[in-house]
Chain A
Amino acid sequence: MIRTVHPIRPAVVAPAGSSLLEVSDIRVRYGGIQALKGVTLRVDSGEIVALIGANGAGKTTTLKSIARLLPLASGTIRYAGRDIASMSTEDLVDAGVALVPEGRAIFPNLTVRENLELGAYAHRNAIAIRETLEDVNELFPRLGERMNQEGGTLSGGEQQMLAIARALMARPTLLLLDEPSLGIAPKLVAHIFAAITAIAKAGVTILLVEQNTRIALATSMRAYVLRTGEIALQGPSRELATNAEIQAAYLGG
């Protein structure tokens, strides 16, 4: 079991099933191009929602916009009922949103333990740190064996585990995962997605960006398909998995 109660922040008042994150018609320019042309999506409390689509469709841009790493040209983002468009990334972390970025972005020259401790920077609560370290140890035993190793010495899969574990250290309410399967050995991918399911069971709401459509649809409850900066399709993951268009485009027939 993963303990998820935040030591300082009061629990977000969003009963299971009510909307935790509402993204309405956001437009974002990125690197001189219109990367998002009006994306609208919703994540309810307790859900795993997948955002799938081809390379360059705007999946990472969407996550970075939600995490307030990119400025919005227009549109609104509401988290736990609050407009967060003008919030900073750092404040949003305090409010309970954690992003595991694409490419993992662990701190390579810090030890695994230091990486994890930094994940708890927002609350710096000794008890919560000790508890989550135990939980993370159970979730990813391989990390527990490598606590004093530098992050950069880990394999790609282990780095992904570290990045997810580091985000858990913050005791997030909403976890944003950007391509957790990217460049990782297939055996570890299954392990990581099992962990994602366990994290959701513990009460963390998850928005998952993934190129591996099959596993994303198998893990999530609902999904959105992003195509060139717009939502092309949406619905329950089980239905989307049998959708002819998706099968042809993303599941290889």
Chain B
Amino acid sequence: MHRIFEALVTGLAQGAMIALVALGYTMVFGILKMINFAHSEVFMMAAYVGLFILTALGGAHSPWIAGIGGTVGAMIGAAALGMLIERVAYRPLRARGRGTRLSRITPLVTALATSVFLQNAAQLMFSAKFRPYPRLFEQTRPVIFIVAVVVMVLLNQLVKKTWFGKAMRALSSNEEAARLMGVRTSRVISMTFAVGSGLAAVGAVLYCLDQSQVYPTMGVVIGTRAFVAAVLGGIGNITGAMLGGLLLGVLGEFVKLTDYSGGVDVLVFLVLIGVLLVKPTGLLGSTAGEKV
């Protein structure tokens, strides 16, 4: 019983972290209908930025200052990187490809290319070796869970209550209609990349506090899981991404209680396939039909 409870707590912490990263995929998909495959690399870069700032601020000697400073610094860095990627890799294609048949495929290819580029850039800049992350707290998991939940509550407020949030949801629902309201789409897209990347940065620092290491390919593992979480919850749906992340996290920890602990990822994909077979739009995804 105690083991099950512990697995639940760990799973929720893991899941909340996955959810933070999944939100970036789902928000960008919501407004651009494309998968930003470079998102996992923003996560990785944010982990490095976090590590450097955290260490500079004294690491384990001043856990609160280092933790908060590192997280905020990583968020700023990630937001800048996310906006830069959108500006350089996606926007030019969007402007040129508007209305053409391949307008959705082309940015997907540049997204993959950006991902590969950033991974290699990280290897060049930071070398391929694993770097240890300072251990800031005795009990990391409750911290992870609480921080992740607070951040998601804040995001919910941002999306529901602010003009940016309303503009983002309008844009995701109908681009032309949003423009007819006076919404500057480029600005909202930029902001969405910034917010999504910032969330990934929080996830990255939390992930590193838990796993105690960073390396240039770390984005692949968590990125895949977060992507699956986003699709599972219904891609484009923010609550869905949170739910998908938590489900995956808890599921993963429960599997570790059994003899098949190596098969977590297999199970994750089995669940994904199962859900998509029954509900192709994901758990909370919807297909809004037109009404007469």
Contacts and interface: CB of A to CB of B under 8 A. Distances in A.
**A associates with B:** yes
A89 interface: yes
B179 A105 contact: no
Given A114-B166, A118-B167, A121-B167, A108 B183 contact: no
Most A CB contacts (10 A, CB to CB) among B166, B167, B181, B185 go to: B181
Interface in B159-177: 163, 166-167, 169-170, 173-174, 176-177
Interface string A150-187: 00101110010000001000100000000000010000
Contacts of A110: 166, 169-170, 173
Interface stretch (A41-49, A95-103, A189-197, A236-244): A95-103
Interface in B170-198: 170, 173-174, 176-185
B288 interface: yes
A90 interface: yes
A98 B180 contact: yes
A93 B183 CA distance: 9
B181 A170 contact: yes
Main secondary structure of the interface of A (DSSP, over half): loop
A16 to B, nearest CB: 26
A208 interface: no
Contacts of A106: 177
Contacts of A119: 181
A109 interface: yes
A24 B238 CA distance: 46
Contacts of A155: 291
Contacts, number: 73
A94 interface: yes
Nearest to A183: B292
B12 to A, nearest CB: 28
Contact of A89 (B169, B180, B291): B180
Given A110-B170, A114-B166, A124-B163, A90 B179 contact: yes
A210 interface: no
B176 A121 contact: no
B64 to A, nearest CB: 37
Contacts of A117: 166
Interface string B257-292: 000000000000000000000000000001010111
Contacts of B163: 121, 124
B184 A118 contact: no
Contacts of B179: 69, 89-90, 93
Interface in A107-165: 107-110, 114, 117-119, 121-122, 124, 152, 154-156, 159
A137 B8 CA distance: 49
A21 interface: no
Interface of B: 163, 166-167, 169-170, 173-174, 176-185, 286, 288, 290-292
22 contacts: A69-B176, A89-B179, A90-B184, A93-B179, A98-B180, A103-B290, A105-B174, A107-B169, A107-B170, A107-B173, A107-B174, A108-B173, A108-B291, A109-B169, A110-B166, A118-B170, A121-B167, A121-B183, A122-B181, A124-B163, A152-B288, A156-B292
Closest 8 CB pairs of A and B: A122-B182, A93-B182, A105-B177, A107-B173, A108-B288, A183-B292, A121-B181, A156-B292
